[in-house]
Amino acid sequence: MPKHILVGYDGSETARRAYLLALDLAACAGAAVHVVSVMQWENGADTSALMMAGVGEDRLNGLREEVAALQPDPGVPVEVALVHGSPGDALLSYVAQHGVDHIVIGHTERGALARWLVGSTSTDVLAKAHVPVTVVR
């Protein structure tokens, strides 16, 4: 049974459903849930400027409020984190650093062109993860 479940969270409807499913899984397993959102930057200079302006802290606080509103009393430990980088790689790095043993992630269907242009985080995670992954549609 998992002890640490990561939810990749981007605020989408499938991410919200993934979070609620992760809470149910965690309650059954006695696990903790790690809600992780990724901020992706175009270049390093922008990252430094925006972080100094407090954008990251504001987004993290907003994320905490949004998650709390979805399930005010989750019944399991919930940690909310904001990480930086390419979404798939950043989520998998968090998995390795925090002993996560299960991933729950939403998948939004896009056309072939959109997948080619921007990729698919769920596909990337499925291809590279070394722990079980549950994809919510």
From the list 97, 72, 74, the residue with the least C-alpha distance to 85 is 97
The residues, any chain, with a CB within 8 Å of residue 4's CB and separated by 6 or more, are 31, 32, 34, 98, 99, 100, 101, 102
- For each of the domains in the chain, give its residue range(s) and CATH number, in order of start: 4-136 (3.40.50.620)
Structure token pair of residue 99: 């002993």
pTM listed for this prediction = 0.86
For the stretch 17-53, pLDDT in tens is 999 999 999 999 999 999 999 987 655 555 555 555 5
Local structure of 38: helix, strand or coil: strand
